[in-house]
Amino acid sequence: MSPETRIRVLVADDHFIVRSGLASLIHAETDMEVVAQAADGAEAVALYARHNPDVALLDLRMPVKSGAEAIELIRRDFPNAHVLVLTAFSGDEDIHRALEAGALGYVLKGTTGEGLIPAIRAVAAGERWIPKDVASRLAVRSSYEALTAREIQVLKEIAKGKVNKEVASALSISEYTVKDHLKSIMSKLHVTVRTEAVTAAVQRGIIEL
């Protein structure tokens, strides 16, 4: 196949071995080629602007700028950009955040090449690619009430091991307000203790440790 008709792919992942493996997998396809590799979200944005690939294959958790931030910046300057997320994170909030940012597809790293290559072709053609396992995780989100920005701040402080008084001091709010937020957080996450709230929030991708 001539270079002009190949699907040109940008690969962005902060792990060198993962990037190299993905590049080898893609290069093995006669209708694809890797035109650039990025080690963080900011580099992915810069390389997208330089190479204008047919597909940007991005990890979700990367240094400097996250995958979601990179997607937003790429889509801001290139509204028709075709972005496919390839990540190990399967939380419903992770998935929602990526799709809201503008990703056309979401694939988990546990998938095989037989699952990734068709996804790249589909996204290159402008099609959405949401596998059943991803769709089922995203559907879970509708059973939860969204946390407010302040509740997420409180939860992040609790995840650091802080007691209510320390959380109150860090956020310049009263200890009573912290308790009120914590009660709401546990209700929304369907848990009964603060440690379960942190675990549930991490698993769903609401916060990172």
Domain parsing of the chain, residue ranges? 3-141, 144-204
pLDDT in tens, 107-163: 999 887 778 999 999 999 999 999 998 999 888 888 899 999 999 999 999 999 999
pLDDT in tens, 83-121: 999 999 999 999 999 999 999 999 999 887 778 999 999
pLDDT in tens, 31-90: 999 999 999 999 999 999 999 999 999 999 999 999 999 999 999 999 999 999 999 999
The secondary element (H helix, E strand) that includes residue 118 is: helix 113-124
Could you give the angle at the alpha carbon of 188 between the alpha carbons of 145 and 136, nearest 5°?
A: 60
Beta strand residue intervals within the chain, DSSP E: 7-12, 32-38, 55-58, 83-87, 105-108
Q: Is the dihedral of CA 183, 186, 191, 194 positive or negative?
A: negative
CATH number at 3-141: 3.40.50.2300
Beta strand residue intervals within 13-147, DSSP E: 32-38, 55-58, 83-87, 105-108
Looking at the DSSP bridge assignments, the partners of residue 7 are 32
- Whether this prediction's pTM lies above 0.75 is answered by yes
CATH number at 144-204: 1.10.10.10
